[in-house]
Amino acid sequence: MTKQYKQYDEDFKKTIVDLYESGKSISDLSREYGVGHTNIRNWINKYKPITTSTGEITNNDEILKLRKELRQIQMENEILKKAVAIFSKEQKIK
């Protein structure tokens, strides 16, 4: 028999984090919404606002998405550099 895990949508998770930021304790939130302490701590770490040195507000989730996008763009850039090198060699041969 497989264990059923409850799925929570992003809005619910962000609401819990907002409530925590407004002063509610993790224990109160866990009891009130029936969510485990560990889940709430993970959501807080993922969604809590972070103020950058430039004054912008972001969160860990957005930072992870941006890092993934950066890796993808860097990989594409390397492929394009190799393609340019191959085509420029072909032009010199002709």
Tell me the C-alpha distance between 90 and 9, whole Å.
53
Q: For position 52, what pLDDT does the model report?
A: 84
Q: What is the pLDDT of residue 93?
A: 65
pLDDT level of residue 61 (50, 70, 90 thresholds): confident
In whole angstroms, what is the distance from residue 71 CA to residue 76 CA?
9
> What does the domain layout of the chain look like in residue ranges?
1-48, 60-94
CB 48 within 8 A of CB 59: yes
Residue-wise pLDDT for 81-92, tens only, equals 999 988 888 776
- pTM metric for this prediction: 0.64
Q: What would the mean pLDDT of 56-69 be, rounded to a whole number?
A: 90
The pLDDT, as a whole number, for residue 94 is 60
